[in-house]
Amino acid sequence: MDIIELRERIMTLPALQKDMELLRKEILDATTELSRLLRKYEQESRDVEKIKKETLTSFMFKVIGKYEDKLRKEEREEIDAKLAYDRAVTHLENLEKEKGALASCISALESDKKTYNAELKNRRLELADQPAQPEGALYLELENGQISILSQMTEIRQALSAAARVKSTAQSTLRSLEKAEDWATFDTFTRGGIITHMAKYSHIDDAERNFHTLSSQLRHLKTELKDVQGLAVPGLSEISSTQRAVDFWFDNIFTDLSVRKQIKGNVGQINNLLRSVSTIESALKTKERQLESDLKKNRKREEELLISLRGNL
């Protein structure tokens, strides 16, 4: 078979695989509906049997002259339920047949894809052994280009992972600071006692622990960003540790206000950091999408080169 023809055949594989996913969902829905209709049919059958039996209900219907009407109504509902169930059975059977035919087609194309990939692999090996030839030189250029792109994508993903860790810790720190600020405000304007001090400093302690982690994660993020080519990185300022104030020992309104001001300043720092990290993430993802596009084009050129070597498998 001509390799170009084979490639065109296997290019239909993703669409068929998507069709299979949709078909499986449709079969699952049809199976659920079939179970529902079966239960309904069984219930209608029981209702008919109940009317036919010599029960108090059937006796009362006979007494008032409504027995035949009631029986015909229940039998009609039973027939309708049976017809609906039979239609659902037929629909599900047709879907299963369609699934079988589609599965056979996909299986054949997956086999073709293995053959196609094996042939491309053989041609790659041939070109790699001919670096002096124009085709071999072009192939090596494309391969080196792929290696460079993949390396950059790895660096970007590592930077994104580092940014996500910074963001997570910063958000936890922010939550602790906001709770501490609430308690500090309460403490300042209500002259709270030991309980409010303990609550406030409990959240400050949580924030301080996060600050240490955040400082380390920021250094790691800066290191990762240095490896990413062509990325303009906004300034990432270090986050200073929340300073523990002296109002625990010298309680007065002025030191309470100082602590509250210090907390608010840290909240602002964290919010600025989160904005900077979001900007960095956006820039990294944009660059990642560009590299993915470049890689796709590179692989397309390589594939075109390989299939141009010989016409047939």
253-307 helix and 67-128 helix, angle to the nearest 10 degrees: 70
Q: How does pLDDT run across 77-102, given as a tens digit for each residue?
A: 889 999 999 999 999 999 999 999 99
> Is a pLDDT exceeding 80 seen at residue 141?
yes
Looking at the DSSP bridge assignments, the partners of residue 2 are: 312
- DSSP one-letter string for 113-157: HHHHHHHHHHHHHHHHT-TTSHHHHHHHHHHHHHHHHHHHHHHHH
Is 49 a residue whose pLDDT tops 70? Answer: yes
Q: 236-248, pLDDT tens digit by residue?
A: 555 444 444 333 3
Multiple choice CATH, 148-307, 1.10.3120, 1.10.3470, 1.20.120, 1.20.1330:
1.20.1330
Q: Is the pLDDT of residue 235 over 80?
A: no
175, containing H or E segment: helix 134-190
Distances (CA, A) of 121 to 79, 116, 220: 62, 9, 39
Q: Which of 42-56, 162-176, 223-237, 291-305 is most confident?
A: 291-305
Domain ranges of the chain: 3-129, 148-307
Give the model confidence (pLDDT) of 2-22 as tens digits.
777 788 788 889 899 999 999
The pTM score is: 0.54
